[in-house]
Chain A
Amino acid sequence: DAGVIQSPRHEVTEMGQEVTLRCKPISGHNSLFWYRQTMMRGLELLIYFNNNVPIDDSGMPEDRFSAKMPNASFSTLKIQPSEPRDSAVYFCASSQDRGYTDTQYFGPGTRLTVL
């Protein structure tokens, strides 16, 4: 199994630009999670999907952030317009969600730098 795939691995952009992060979950997994990791705030859940439907987006910082999951094998996290405070490592994770003990499998992350 290839694991959770994220692209790009690194992104450097200027303030005001649109940024799109991509994630391919593990085949057969029906839950997908987007996390943000910073030194100041640690690991935060932004949003999660179950069967392609957003279930909990309470962690999405503001309207500049949006996430979609058009099918079971692809999700995007978009920031428009980006700001320097969005600089962080963004992780995607997936799980089979058959019960409370399911393991979340994390991708390698996208390191975003907004100048």
Chain B
Amino acid sequence: AQSVTQLGSHVSVSEGALVLLRCNYSSSVPPYLFWYVQYPNQGLQLLLKYTSAATLVKGINGFEAEFKKSETSFHLTKPSAHMSDAAEYFCAVRRTSGSRLTFGEGTQLTVNP
């Protein structure tokens, strides 16, 4: 069965610093991986998704993620954090059959001025 593990429930960075949010997956077959962001009191919004077309995936708001099969990872990065990036971020994996997404536990990102 597919699952994802997000390392670190809380990450704090300074404005302008690198953002790195970690996600590791377990899957017996090549997975389809997603990063979603949730701003306070809002629903989840897709940041980016890995569909096997390219290992480096660029998303919205300057975020990107790299699929590394050897490390079973799909970490999310942004070179320079902005105050508006403060939110909760979820990594998710999709089964190869059906529509079900399995979400990680989420990482709360705080950006300090």
Name B11-55 residues within 8 Å CB distance of A: 32, 34, 36, 41-46, 49, 51
A91/B99 in contact, CB under 8 A: no
A101/B32 in contact, CB under 8 A: yes
Q: With an 8 A cutoff between CB atoms, is A55 at the interface? A: yes
Chain A, interface SS category: strand
Chain B, interface size category, equals 20 to 34
Q: With an 8 A cutoff between CB atoms, is A25 at the interface? A: no
A106/B99 in contact, CB under 8 A: no
Name A64-115 residues within 8 Å CB distance of B: 91, 93, 95, 97, 100-109
Name B66-113 residues within 8 Å CB distance of A: 90, 94-96, 98-101, 103, 105-106
Which single residue of chain A is at the shortest CB-CB distance from B104?
A42
Which single residue of chain A is at the shortest CB-CB distance from B53?
A101
Contacts of A48 in B (CB 8 A): 99-100
Q: Can you report 11 residue pairs joining A to B where beta carbons are below 8 Å apart?
A: A42-B103, A42-B106, A43-B44, A45-B100, A50-B99, A101-B94, A102-B99, A103-B49, A104-B44, A104-B46, A106-B45
B103/A106 in contact, CB under 8 A: no
